[in-house]
Each structure stands twice: as structure tokens, then as C-alpha cells.
Structure 1
Amino acid sequence: MTRFLFDLAFWLAAPFWALLILAPGRRWTDRIAASPLPLIPVLAVHLALAVPIFPRLWSAVSSPELGAFQDLMTVDGGAAAIWAQVIAWDLFLGQWMYREARRLGIHPLVMGPLLVLTVLLSPIGVLLFLVLRALRSRTAQGNATGRAAAGPSAVRA
């Protein structure tokens, strides 16, 4: 059962990732990216895996030490519970990144690879997105400032 739930966590999230990456800008993709509902099935899998091992899981997260996490990984369901948590968190981050990219006008051909990287190695994907977001925000602020400065003088001229 643990192996099935481990696999299920990924397969429940995969269709939503596919939408974010392959169908950007579609109305239904935007609606799904704005909804917490895609997370619920993955979180349910996490709970199904976490409840039976809750004392060990709680011990590992409430007093984080490497040894406690190593022990948790040896418990049946321990690695799968952490995996389902990571899958849910990655999807949450992917949805946020998608919405931010749409808001900032970042092209889908730039975001697609970043979202794939986030699925595979979320810390790297998110870090690169944060850099891109900061650069894009700075550029957008500079353009807005330039337009505001050009606007009144163009009217006076």
C-alpha cells in the first residue's frame, strides 16, 4: 500500500503540472493555478501515509535532528510521507510561480523550463524564478517610472 500511495502522490499532481507547463494562459489553467483544490488529493495521500507513523514523524519535525530524519526514512511509510509532502509543496510553489509569471508577463517559453526544474529540483527552480522575478519587477518599475517621467513632458512639449 505504501508503494501505491508513494506513486499516487506524484500522479495526482502531474496533470496540474502538465497544465501549468503545456497550457499556459488558458482560462481553465489560470483558474486551476489560482485554486487550492489541486493540492487536496495530494495532501490526503500525505495524511494517509503520515497518520500511521505520526509519533515518529512528529518527533522528527518537532525537534529536527539529522538522526531523527534518518530514522524516519527507515520506517515503512516514512519516506513516502515526506515525498507526498514535497509533492504537495512543489505543486503549491508551481501554482504561485505560474500566477506570478502571468502577472509579470514572463513568457511561457521561459516559465516552462523553470516549472519543469521546480518539479524535479524545487529549490533550484524557485531560486532561479525569484531572481527572474526580481529582475522583471525592477524592469517593470523602471519602465513605469520612465513612462511617468515622459508623460507630463510630452504633454507640455
Structure 2
Amino acid sequence: MTSSLFSLAFYLVAPVWLLMLFAPTWRITERVAASPLTVVPILILWAVLAVPVLPELWSAVSSPDLDTFRDLAALGNGAGAIWAQILAWDLLIGQWMYREARRLAVPPLLMSPLLLLTIFLSPLGLPLFLIVRAVRTTRKSTVRPSTVPLR
């Protein structure tokens, strides 16, 4: 059962990622990516996985150390809850990146690899996007429309 729930986790977030990757200009993608409710299904799954190991989970987060987390991750439900939490945060980060990229007119061909990297290794994808964002923001602020003096 736990193995099936672990596998289900990725499929709960995959539709949103697929929209952002392969249909970035669709209106529905923009609406979906703007909603924080996309993480509700994965958070429900997190709760289902976390409740049976709540004492171990609480111990790991209230007094964190490597051995406590190792013990939690050794439990099927513990590893599944950690995985679901990672997927939820990565999805929220990806949605924010997608919306910022659309606002700054970052080309989808540049954003798709960054989003893919964020799916797999968000600690690498997010900083790279922040660099792209900084460059785009700087360029936008230096390109000012010409002004006509008012009389």
C-alpha cells in the first residue's frame, strides 16, 4: 500500500508540470499555475502517509538530527511523507517560476529546461532561474519608453 501511495505522489503533481512545460502559453495553464490549490491533492496524500508515523515525524522535525531523519526515512510512510512534501514545495516553486517567467516574457524554450531541472533538482533549478530573472528584470528597468515632454 505504501509503495503505491509513494508512486501516486508524482502523478498528482505531473499534470501541472506537464502544462507548464508543454503548453506554457495556454490560458488554462496560466490559471492552473496561478492557483496554490494545485498542491492540495499531494498534501492530502502527505497526511495519509504522515499520520501513521506522526510520532517519528514530529521527533524528526522538532529536534532534527541526521539519525532521526534516517530513522524516519527508513519507514515506508516516512519516506513517502518526505517525498510528498518535497513534491509539494517543488511544485509551488515551479509555479512561481512559471508565473514570473511569463510576467518577464522569458521564452518558453529557456524556461522548459529550467522547469525540468526544478522538477528533478530544485536547489539547482531555482538559483539558475533567479539569475535569469535578475537579468530580465535589469533589462526591463534599463529599457525605458521614450517620453514626450508635456506642455
Report how many aligned residue pairs link the two structures.
Answer: 150
Instruction: Report the counterpart of residue 76 of structure 1 in structure 2.
Output: 76
Q: Does 1:22 align with 2:18?
A: no
Cα shift at 1:151: 2.2
SS in 1 for 2:106: coil
Identify the residue that residue 109 of structure 1 maps to in structure 2: 109
What does the per-residue CA deviation read over 1:27-51, in whole Å, with 9 as the maximum and x for residues that have no partner? 1000000012221111111110011
- Distance in 1 separating the partners of 2:105 and 2:95: 15
After superposition, give the CA deviation of every residue in 1:83-125 in whole Å (9 maximum; x if it has no partner). 0100111111111100000011101110011001100111100
Superposed CA RMSD: 1.3
Say yes or no: does 1:85 pair with 2:81: no
Amino acid at match of 1:41: P
**Partner in structure 1 of residue 95 of structure 2:** 95
What corresponds to 1:52 in structure 2?
52
Contact 2:21-2:115 at 8 Å conserved across structures = yes
Residue type at the aligned position of 1:35: S
Q: Distance in 2 between matches of 1:28 and 1:61?
A: 37
Distance 2:104 2:76 in 1: 44
Highest CA radius of gyration, 1 or 2? 1
What is the deviation of 1:23?
Answer: 0.1
Specify every segment of 5 or more residues in structure 1 that has no aligned partner in the other structure, as ranges.
none
Q: For 1:119, give the aligned amino acid.
A: I
Q: Aligned partners of 1:111 and 1:63: how far apart in 2?
A: 38
> 1:66 Cα deviation (Å)?
1.0
Match of 1:11 in 2: 11
**Taking every aligned residue pair, what percent have the same amino acid on both sides?**
54
Counterpart residue number, 2:147:
151
| TM-score, with structure 2 as normaliser | 0.95
Cα distance between partner residues in 2 of 1:13 and 1:87: 7
Once the two structures are overlaid, the 10-residue window that deviates more, 6-15 or 70-79, is 70-79
1:25-36, aligned counterparts within 5 Å? Answer: 25-36=25-36
Give the AA of the match of 1:151: T
TM-superposition CA deviations, 1:121-143 (whole Å, max 9, x none): 11100110011111111111111
**Large movers: runs of 4+ above 3 Å:** none
